[in-house]
Amino acid sequence: MVGYGMRAFTRAIVATGCSALLCQAVWAQFTIVNLYPGVGEFSMINGGALGSQVGVAFVDSISQASLWTGSGSSWVSLNPQGAQYSTAFGSSSGQQVGYASISDSWHASLWTGTAASWVDLNPFPGEYSVANATDNNQQVGYARHNSAERACVWSGTAASWVDLSSGSAFSEAYTVKNGVQGGHEDFLACIWRGTAASKVALSPPGDDGSAVRGIGGDQQVGYVRVGGRVRASLWRGTAESWVDLSPLDSIESVAYDATKGQQVGYSDVASGACLWAGTPGSHVSLQAYLPSNYHNSRATSIVCDGIKTVIGGWAYNSNAGREEAILWIADDFDLTLNKTAVAGQNSVLGTVSIGEPKPTNTTFSMSDNSSLVLTPSSVTVQAGQLSKSFQVATTAIISTVVTTIYAKLGKMTRPQTLTLIPLVPTALSFTPTQVSSGQPTICRVVINGVAGPGGRTLSISDNSIYSTVPSTIIVPAGASSVSFPITTTTVSQAVTVRVTARVSAGEKTGTFRIVP
């Protein structure tokens, strides 16, 4: 999962001090859990994995890399023996990463649940390094070497260090998922796939400073500074895919993590932690679910396990004057489609599912972003059930269009993209494929879906004076193919006839032979 990052962490701690929330309190849709361990001046969550959270707690007069498993009482110090202080930034499947200060130098660090498990990832004696994130296979961060801070990736040991920078003085990797690393080079957002040469720049026009802070599925999230504003940002692998998530009138916002089409971070409009579902209009304030004495919250991680969605971060408790690690927990659900692409006029089967049966009905609000699809306004999973399926109808189109279907439960939204493609011919076959002079053949044309009301009209042509085809044919409504006869005349030598079925969006050609 995403790691928060050393320099951002330093900027964030401008005040410390809090009387804890109730250990667990339900605020509207979210259950709020306070992970403050009961002692120390502050605590913060920087990253999360299923069932565990990592960050820092100031205990016994030092900052200590910290691990929780869902409650304040579960707090475990990861501060290794001999370290002056430490912080954990990311975790995944039993691994935790961050840094420990050893002899006044930061050492990128890897743990597996205990302080004693500490592994020093620092590749260069006398220099310093920080690990920001792990996906259980790779760890990423940066290392200071030859007067440059270099984005890098490890595979569990200091010796495995790989330099991701392209000779720049400043670069850093903040996140890693399935072999993709995200961060910045010369303060411009980019992703890598294990080598410096693999870098893909994500910087949009006008970018005055940006970084990728988290990866979830095919999405990368972070921020872009444009026009004097810091804008929470979303990408899908290219600079052209950039989406500005910042709410209207926002001056500063950042997205730190993403999963299942949702993103979490911070916005000054919300005065704290917030949640998105891929668009600025989907912005939801998580700060609003905290008690009134909690302010300036941040959401740094989001994980979903099919039963619960767990968002981690922190908030400032003005009653006690300290930062406290916070979890926002909501019932998890999912939206799936049985096809990711479908021809126009054809339908898709969608399913909403919940993690565990409920004693009462669970009703989802449904919507889409296009007039080309027809989605029901709501779908209800009956009491005691786990899922409900529904149909999404589509209309005829002349070019490929990407649409999005949304399922919403309370403040949580699940998006699924659906690509609509034109209904076009995909195959021509002939029975028989070779005929004697004057004998007919039957041509069968197949389209890439089912024809809608009124059928699908195709233009037919051939390239031979020895055959006769109709100028148009109609695939009947509800059918995916149509057959028609082709007559032939006498030939003195073998002839190959090319027949083409065509619509404005595409065509398909097949051949048969006429022999004397």
pLDDT of residue 6: 36
Return the H-helix or E-strand segment holding 11.
helix 6-12
Binning pLDDT at 50, 70 and 90, where does residue 306 land? Answer: confident
| 204 touches 189 (CB < 8 A) | no
Taking 70 as the threshold, does the pLDDT of residue 13 lie above it? no
Q: pLDDT digits over 209-235, tens only?
A: 999 999 999 999 999 999 999 999 999
| 438 touches 488 (CB < 8 A) | yes
Decide: helix, strand or coil at residue 425.
strand
pLDDT of residue 81: 95
Binning pLDDT at 50, 70 and 90, where does residue 25 land? Answer: very low
CA–CA gap between residue 41 and residue 59 (Å, rounded): 7
Q: pLDDT digits over 363-420, tens only?
A: 999 999 999 999 999 999 999 999 999 999 999 898 999 999 999 998 889 999 999 9
Do the strands 148-154 and 434-436 form a parallel or antiparallel pair, or are they unpaired? unpaired
Q: pLDDT digits over 454-487, tens only?
A: 899 999 999 999 999 999 999 999 999 999 999 9
pLDDT of residue 453: 87
Of 5-19, 293-307, 347-361, 463-477, the poorest mean pLDDT is in 5-19
Q: Mean of the pLDDT values across residues 67-90?
A: 95
CA–CA gap between residue 474 and residue 445 (Å, rounded): 10
Angle, CA of 67, 73 and 77, to the nearest 5°: 35
Q: pLDDT digits over 353-378, tens only?
A: 998 899 999 999 999 999 999 999 99
Taking 90 as the threshold, does the pLDDT of residue 93 lie above it? no
* Phi and psi, residue 160, nearest 5°: -85, 0
Torsion angle of the four alpha carbons 502, 508, 512, 514, in this order, in degrees rounded to the nearest 10: 30
Residue 167 in tokens: 């000779």
Mean pLDDT for the chain overall: 91
pLDDT of residue 8: 35
pLDDT of residue 410: 86
Q: pLDDT digits over 101-138, tens only?
A: 999 999 999 999 999 999 999 999 889 999 999 999 99
pLDDT of residue 248: 83
Cβ–Cβ contacts within 10 Å for residue 51, how many?
15
Taking 50 as the threshold, does the pLDDT of residue 12 lie above it? no
With tokens 């304030």, the residue in question is 285
Taking 50 as the threshold, does the pLDDT of residue 193 lie above it? yes
- Residue of 197, 202, 131, 142 whose CA lies nearest to 169: 142
Q: Mean of the pLDDT values across residues 421-434?
A: 96
- Using a 10 angstrom Cβ sphere, with 0-12 exposed, 13-18 middle and 19 or more buried, the burial of residue 102 is middle
Residue 293 in tokens: 């004495």
As a whole number of Å, the CA-based R_g of the chain is 29
Per cent of the chain over pLDDT 90 is: 83
| 356 touches 435 (CB < 8 A) | no
Of 37-41, 385-389, 442-446, 463-467, the poorest mean pLDDT is in 37-41
pLDDT of residue 140: 98
pLDDT of residue 37: 87
pLDDT of residue 257: 97
| 55 touches 63 (CB < 8 A) | no
pLDDT of residue 324: 93
pLDDT of residue 9: 32
List strand residue ranges (DSSP E) for 454-505, in order.
Answer: 456-462, 467-468, 472-475, 481-488, 495-503
Per cent of the chain over pLDDT 70 is: 95
Residue 65 in tokens: 């890399």
pLDDT of residue 138: 97
Taking 60 as the threshold, does the pLDDT of residue 320 lie above it? yes
The residue type of 174 is Y
pLDDT of residue 14: 26
pLDDT of residue 131: 98
Q: Mean of the pLDDT values across residues 19-45?
A: 70
Return the H-helix or E-strand segment holding 417.
strand 412-421
